[in-house]
Amino acid sequence: MTPYSPPLRDITFVLRELAGLDEIAGLPGFEDATSDVVQSVLDEAGRIASQVLAPLNQTGDQQGIRRENGTVKTPDGWRQAYRTLTEGNWIGLSCPQEFGGMGLPGVVDAAVSEMWQAANMAFSLCPMLTQGAINAIRTCGDEALQAKYLPRLVSGEWAGTMNLSEAAAGSDLGAIRTKAVRKDGHYLVSGQKIFITYGDHDLTENIIHLVLARTPDAPVGVKGISLFAVPKMLIGDDGKTIRRNDVQCLSLEHKLGIHASPTAVLSFGEKEGAIGFLIGDENRGLEYMFVMMNHARLNVGLQGLAIAERAYQQARAYAQERIQGRPIGCSAPSAIVDHPDVRRMLMGMKAEIEAMRALAYLAAAALDRAQAHPLPAERDAAKRYAELLNPIVKGWCTERGFEIASTGVQIHGGTGYIESTGAAQHLRDARITTIYEGTTGIQANDLINRKILKDGGLTLDRSLDDAGKTARELAQHDDPILQDIGNALNRAVGDAHRASRWLQDVAAEDPRQAAAAGVPLLLLLGTVLGGHEMARAARLAVIRAAETDTDQGFYRTKLKTAWHYAEAILPRSSGLLGTIIRGSRTVMVLDREEL
Amino acid sequence: MTPYSPPLRDITFVLRELAGLDEIAGLPGFEDATSDVVQSVLDEAGRIASQVLAPLNQTGDQQGIRRENGTVKTPDGWRQAYRTLTEGNWIGLSCPQEFGGMGLPGVVDAAVSEMWQAANMAFSLCPMLTQGAINAIRTCGDEALQAKYLPRLVSGEWAGTMNLSEAAAGSDLGAIRTKAVRKDGHYLVSGQKIFITYGDHDLTENIIHLVLARTPDAPVGVKGISLFAVPKMLIGDDGKTIRRNDVQCLSLEHKLGIHASPTAVLSFGEKEGAIGFLIGDENRGLEYMFVMMNHARLNVGLQGLAIAERAYQQARAYAQERIQGRPIGCSAPSAIVDHPDVRRMLMGMKAEIEAMRALAYLAAAALDRAQAHPLPAERDAAKRYAELLNPIVKGWCTERGFEIASTGVQIHGGTGYIESTGAAQHLRDARITTIYEGTTGIQANDLINRKILKDGGLTLDRSLDDAGKTARELAQHDDPILQDIGNALNRAVGDAHRASRWLQDVAAEDPRQAAAAGVPLLLLLGTVLGGHEMARAARLAVIRAAETDTDQGFYRTKLKTAWHYAEAILPRSSGLLGTIIRGSRTVMVLDREEL
């Protein structure tokens, strides 16, 4: 078992100084998010993460999930840990109070989610999916449906799932074949769904499956998909469960990682038909599912950040303990943390993690503003910004998160390759994050088509202009480190602007070339926008350090970490730019048979 | 089970056109390496790889290794597969005929090794380590020792191992504590060794452990280490095994990957002392071990290449089969290989694999020249070049190999995360290659200190000058693709030259900064020198295509693949250069407690 120490100081800094928590707390609906409340929520969430969830992470991985007598058993201790969440009303943290939630901003939920995913990702997928189901029903379901399902989902008595994939319909949801036929005020759903996370388990008495399916006369493709709530246990008018619905868990997957998270093949309607309830209108299922997916995508981005933080903490502890060799400039054998190459790895991990945290929380804060700001223009701007950041946070934080988890193994040397060390589990767990809820390629498609090209690059340019402004201001600052950061950011923003212009030039005449550039462009933008947040953090650190006597250590560390990000991480932008503008045109030069 | 198809066409191209096999076959000692012999060796090795070893790869992973009644059992079918190797005299492929080998050049062995590691890395570690032991005994042992051990190691009747690591001595071999006390013409060895690959198994009747240990009066540190041959079974004067030596396998590690390769904790001399025989002179053990390690490092580099090729083949097959979505420009749903982002991944894998193959074989060819060239100056130049390439091939091919194996998972989407698919095994297996036989950080230290700084950058500059010359020639060529390649290579070589000069400037005044730049510099040099080989390949492809009517498809594909390497992969050099010259100075800015 490796400990997890919630990085509360940096979390609080990012929430308050970068993501604008105080301003968000002033928006209508978030009145309860006082400074005291937020701090005690974070403290308690951190305590649960480190004391309840983290100790179950490795044992969960080792035990995995078992099927016994038709039920799916979670590992030892998981039911009790789940009760801790429900007793504290944690699942409803950001749900309105009318449904039993705590009504806190989503950005606070993001911070809590980071800690829980870091502590135990396989476990925390369960509440994460329930929150997604809550969002979808809240946003798209009618009042009756909301009254029926929301209170028990919010309380955590019931769990929720997302049922999208079928054997022949993964990234392409237009190919979905699951059927839903109207009958007696509900629908009979039949078909098979795969890769259903927490598709069956013993943590709750009921599971509400949100299922994409087609009605008989639906248009072909994505325009003919509807969304249904299909409970595992049917519910009577009194709200009590009556009997099993016709939903079977056929099998569980044996996966590379997240061994304790049940990934199920679910069969709907093998016998009499699974009873389901339409959410919203027919044929708008994909639109509704996106509500859930966008939440899930932000949260998967947070998983990338979270596992990176966990892997970093473990590697740091090992590097500070493990005596090996005589580092340059040391007169005696010393801990490997003093070897420049080990330090390079740790420093890079730390810098990227802090940038990822800043960008992910910013995306969550933008969603809060988009939802709650009183001014329509502000809501609209926040919505566009949140939509731009969504695929970047999902794609960039997970790609980097996996790489950082792998670096964590590397720092351990041969010990990292031994499973009992625990470092390899982070790598295995992290590997799914670039795949589920839309692969990085799917995120990149979303980014270039719906988030950049659709508005002529306006939202992106605005973000990059902001970054460029920060860069120029810092380059003029008295502090030489801030100058360095400003100059480095300026170069990187220039690269990002060039890539954006190239994309817009090339997209019309050669859309395949534009598509081929999607992933490197996503990574470039993550690197640069994350770098902007680190630059802002550095400037604030200088300001705060001058204002106060406390926390000098934190601010000095933040400044230097941002410096390293600027000098060691931001230069990647030039390599990515080259790959984008030169390398995209040679992606399709071979016939597929020549590969 | 996923098939493996030996890439014989590219292997032959690289051997003949880039690595200079014909010239090597003309060197003294390699007279038997006629064109026909080499081709039939490669064909037969490819057949064994695809038909004998590849089918056991996934079952081996699933069964793993078992301890039963004090013996270590390999998975089903392994003993039979091993017999195929010994019956064909494959282990002695590049050993002199006087010891029963085939006397072929090492570069041919490298090609064979690539295929076997690709087919089944966990299995092929066994002959690889035996070959390393053969090299060490051949190079450093006296005649009696050679006569005693070499014939049966070469025949494969016995296997060999490397015993370096101890609990407190991993990367730092100076910390080794295993003792060896002289007695009656041999030594009694006692101590515990960890991470011993194939430390115990049932494939051979005996195992010759090469063990680093200290004699009682040895100097401290690496200068007091001696090398011993410690057989598992003691051998009588008639060459027959008599009884167990005092060597115990205490346990086997449960690892992330290479499940079927036994990684043992070995205890020497728990009872009466393990009888060992000094190899060469006392206190020269580290020097001798490097003979073995350099062989092993080249071979681990080949493993990186090999797993990348295997992962590529599997991902390509999946991408050509799996129908999903409607790619841009396609009127109907199509295989995912036609999606630009999937093509980007496959194209990048293919281009890097071919560059890795070229550089790895070049390193093997340089070793052949260093050993067999009649002119001392040529031998010396080849030796320096081989020594420069050794850490680059080990570090770069394994880092890229892991990344490519991970990309193979990504192309499979959710299916790749399911263990039965087999893509995840490649990722798990590949993960050890950047760690064992010296981590990438250790390779980078070797590269900058012993291979670059020690000779004032002379050997490196010569290699880069060669690359620059090729670049300028291609930039002047009539063929527009060769021009592109030449221009791209020229930029990248410029980056490498700048990095090399920076290293030499900074090393004297700030060695920690130089050390911090080691890994990115290693990756930069791998990228650029690999790019040089791809540029040479492209030029040769144009020449050969003009000369002949056959193989036009291969040459056209090679040219375009090299083009993609130049345009999409080489631009990484600018990002790496920035990280090196700007980022290295901020690596150590935090105190270790501030991390």
Chain segment B270-304, per-residue pLDDT in tens = 998 999 999 999 999 989 988 777 889 999 999 99
Mean pLDDT for chain A overall: 96
A583 contacts in chain B (CB < 8 Å): 564, 567-569, 571
Domain identity same for B163 and B63: no
Tens digit of each residue's pLDDT (9 = 90 or more) over A402-429: 999 999 999 999 999 999 999 999 999 9
Q: CA of A299, closest CA in chain B: separation in Å?
A: 18
Domain identity same for A502 and A555: yes
Phi, psi torsion values for B565, nearest 5 degrees:
-55, -45
> From the CA atom positions of chain B, what is the Rg in Å?
24
Residue of B nearest to A521 (CA): B341
Of A168, A346, A592, the CB nearest to B320: A592
Pairwise CA distance, residues B441 & A33, whole Å: 47
Pick from A73, A135, A154, A409: nearest CA to A279: A135
Residue of A nearest to B587 (CA): A344
> From the CA atom positions of chain A, what is the Rg in Å?
24
| Residue matched to tokens 């590992």 | A75
Pick from A51, A32, A33: nearest CA to A116: A51
Q: CA of B502, closest CA in chain A: separation in Å?
A: 15
Domain identity same for A126 and A89: yes
Distances (CA, A) of A396 to A85, A125, A390, A465, B331: 29, 20, 10, 20, 31
Q: Which amino acid is at A469?
A: K
Domain identity same for B579 and B444: yes
Does residue A338 carry a pLDDT above 90? yes
pLDDT bucket at A1, cuts 50 / 70 / 90? low
Q: CA of A50, closest CA in chain B: separation in Å?
A: 19
Token readout for B266 is 């070995």
CATH of the domain at A207: 2.40.110.20
Pairwise CA distance, residues B65 & B261, whole Å: 7
Pairwise CA distance, residues B206 & B161, whole Å: 11
Produce one character per residue of A105-142: b if its CB has 16 or more CB atoms within 10 Å, e if not: bbbbbbbbbbbbbbbbbbbbbbbbbbbbbbbbbbebbe
Domain identity same for A84 and A215: no
Inter-chain touch A579–B571, beta carbons under 8 Å: yes
Domain of B206 in residue numbering reads as 159-287
Instruction: Answer for the pair A260, A254: CB distance below 8 angstroms, yes or no.
Output: no
Inter-chain touch B432–A417, beta carbons under 8 Å: yes
Token readout for B64 is 């793993």
**Residue A46: how many other CB atoms lie within 10 Å:** 21
Of B174, B320, B516, the CB nearest to A343: B516
Token readout for B297 is 């490092």
Domain identity same for A84 and A201: no
The least confident of A87-96, A329-338, B481-490 is A329-338
Q: Give a yes or no: residue B178 inside a domain.
A: yes
Pairwise CA distance, residues B198 & B195, whole Å: 9
Does residue B110 carry a pLDDT above 90? yes
pLDDT bucket at B237, cuts 50 / 70 / 90? confident
Q: What is the pLDDT of residue B21?
A: 97
Task: Please compute the mean of the pLDDT values over residues A311-317 and round it to a whole number.
Answer: 98
Inter-chain touch B434–A410, beta carbons under 8 Å: yes
Give the DSSP H/E element, type plus range, for residue B331.
none
Domain identity same for B168 and B135: no
DSSP conformation letters of B393-452: HHHHHHHHHHHHHHHHHHHTGGGGGBGGGSHHHHHHHHTTTTTTTS-HHHHHHIIIIIII
Produce one character per residue of B79-117: b if its CB has 16 or more CB atoms within 10 Å, e if not: eebbeebbebebbbbbbeeebbbbbbbbbbbbbbbbbbb
Q: Which of B10, B321, B587 to mutate to test the interface with A (most CBs of A within 10 A)?
A: B587
Q: CA of B243, closest CA in chain A: separation in Å?
A: 32
Q: Give a yes or no: residue B400 inside a domain.
A: no
CATH of the domain at A53: 1.10.540.10
Does residue B78 carry a pLDDT above 90? yes
Instruction: Answer for the pair B203, B220: CB distance below 8 angstroms, yes or no.
Output: no
DSSP tally for chain B: helices H, then strands E: 19, 12
B254 contacts in chain A (CB < 8 Å): 418-420
If DSSP codes are grouped into helix, strand and coil, which group holds residue B575? Answer: helix
Instruction: Answer for the pair B330, B382: CB distance below 8 angstroms, yes or no.
Output: no
Pairwise CA distance, residues B362 & B367, whole Å: 9
Q: CA of B410, closest CA in chain A: separation in Å?
A: 7
Tens digit of each residue's pLDDT (9 = 90 or more) over B253-270: 999 999 999 999 999 999
Domain identity same for B138 and B196: no
Q: Tell whether B518 is within 8 A of chain A (Cβ).
A: yes
**How far from chain centre, in Å, is Cα B234?**
31
Domain identity same for B521 and B485: yes
Task: Please compute the mean of the pLDDT values over residues B351-363 and round it to a whole number.
Answer: 98
| Structural domain ending residue among the three candidates B100, B128, B155 | B155
Q: What is the pLDDT of residue A294?
A: 81
Give the DSSP H/E element, type plus range, for residue A504.
helix A480-509
B441 contacts in chain A (CB < 8 Å): 339, 341-342, 410
| Secondary structure string (H, E, C) spanning B221-261 | HHHHCEEEEEECEEECCCCCEEEECCEEEEEECCECCCCCC
Q: How many residues does chain A have?
A: 595
Mean pLDDT for chain B overall: 96
Domain identity same for B574 and B485: yes
| Residue matched to tokens 């007598």 | A69
Q: Which amino acid is at A459?
A: T
Token readout for A589 is 């030069």
Residues ≥6 apart with Cβ < 8 Å to A490? A468, A471, A472, A475
Q: Annotated catalytic residue: which of B352, B354, B403, B437? A: B437
Of B324, B418, B585, the CB nearest to A254: B418
What's the number of CA atoms in the CB half-sphere (13 Å) around residue A333?
Answer: 14
Q: Tell whether B313 is within 8 A of chain A (Cβ).
A: no
Does residue A536 carry a pLDDT above 90? yes
Task: Please compute the mean of the pLDDT values over residues A572-587 and round it to a whole number.
Answer: 98
What's the number of CA atoms in the CB half-sphere (13 Å) around residue B93?
Answer: 25
**Residue A218: how many other CB atoms lie within 10 Å:** 18
Pairwise CA distance, residues B416 & B423, whole Å: 6
Domain identity same for B55 and B86: yes
Q: In sequence order, which ranges of B141-194 are alpha helices (DSSP H)?
A: 143-155
Q: Give a yes or no: residue B331 inside a domain.
A: no
Pairwise CA distance, residues B514 & B457, whole Å: 14
The residues of A annotated as belonging to the active site are 437
Tell me the helix, strand and coil percentages in chain A, rounded to 5: 65, 10, 25
Q: Tell whether B413 is within 8 A of chain A (Cβ).
A: yes
Residues ≥6 apart with Cβ < 8 Å to A543? none
Token readout for B370 is 């260093």
Pairwise CA distance, residues B388 & B336, whole Å: 40
- Which of A 531-570 lie inside 8 A of B, CB atoms? 553, 556-557, 560-561, 563-564, 567-570
Tens digit of each residue's pLDDT (9 = 90 or more) over B386-423: 999 999 999 999 999 999 999 999 999 999 999 999 99
Pairwise CA distance, residues A384 & A381, whole Å: 5
Does residue A170 carry a pLDDT above 90? no
Domain identity same for B42 and B144: yes
Inter-chain touch A445–B341, beta carbons under 8 Å: yes
- Which of A 414-473 lie inside 8 A of B, CB atoms? 414, 416-420, 424, 427-428, 431-432, 434-436, 439-441, 444-445
Pairwise CA distance, residues A139 & A280, whole Å: 9
- Pairing state of beta strands A206-213 and A226-231? antiparallel
Q: Which of B312, B399, B589 to mutate to test the interface with A (most CBs of A within 10 A)?
A: B589
**Residue A419: how many other CB atoms lie within 10 Å:** 18
User: What's the angle, vertex CA B44, arms to CA B38 and CA B47, rounded to 5?
Assistant: 140
Inter-chain touch A417–B257, beta carbons under 8 Å: yes
Inter-chain touch A414–B569, beta carbons under 8 Å: no
Q: Tell whether B195 is within 8 A of chain A (Cβ).
A: yes
Token readout for A105 is 């901003």
Q: What is the pLDDT of residue A115?
A: 98
| CB pairs A-B closer than 8 Å | 289
Q: Tell whether B67 is within 8 A of chain A (Cβ).
A: no
Inter-chain touch B324–A518, beta carbons under 8 Å: no
- Which of B 34-53 lie inside 8 A of A, CB atoms? none
Inter-chain touch B511–A328, beta carbons under 8 Å: yes
Does residue B1 carry a pLDDT above 70? no
Instruction: Answer for the pair A136, A62: CB distance below 8 angstroms, yes or no.
Output: no
Give the largest CA-CA distance in chain A. 82
**How far from chain centre, in Å, is Cα A134?**
17
| Structural domain ending residue among the three candidates A127, A155, A183 | A155
Residues ≥6 apart with Cβ < 8 Å to A396? A301, A356, A359, A522, A523, A525, A526, A527, A530
B44 is catalytic: no
| Residue matched to tokens 């054997």 | A167
Q: Tell whether B62 is within 8 A of chain A (Cβ).
A: no
Q: Which of A453, A574, A593 to mutate to test the interface with B (most CBs of B within 10 A)?
A: A574
**How far from chain centre, in Å, is Cα B304?**
7
Instruction: Answer for the pair A158, A309: CB distance below 8 angstroms, yes or no.
Output: no
Pairwise CA distance, residues B572 & B496, whole Å: 11
| Structural domain ending residue among the three candidates A139, A155, A171 | A155
Q: Give a yes or no: residue A377 inside a domain.
A: no
Q: Give a yes or no: residue B406 inside a domain.
A: no
Of B316, B428, B439, the CB nearest to A595: B316
**Residue B271: how many other CB atoms lie within 10 Å:** 9
B168 contacts in chain A (CB < 8 Å): 323-324
How many distinct structural domains can be found in chain A?
A: 3
pLDDT bucket at B240, cuts 50 / 70 / 90? confident
Q: Which of A173, A259, A410, A577 to mutate to test the interface with B (most CBs of B within 10 A)?
A: A410
The CA-to-CA distance between both ends of chain B, in Å, stands at 45
Q: State percent of chain A over pLDDT 70.
A: 100
Does residue A43 carry a pLDDT above 70? yes
Does residue A365 carry a pLDDT above 90? yes
Pairwise CA distance, residues A395 & A518, whole Å: 11
Q: Give a yes or no: residue B376 inside a domain.
A: no
A409 contacts in chain B (CB < 8 Å): 256, 431, 435
Residue of B nearest to A313 (CA): B595
Tens digit of each residue's pLDDT (9 = 90 or more) over A185-221: 999 999 999 999 999 999 999 999 999 999 999 999 9
Of A194, A195, A519, the CB nearest to B344: A519
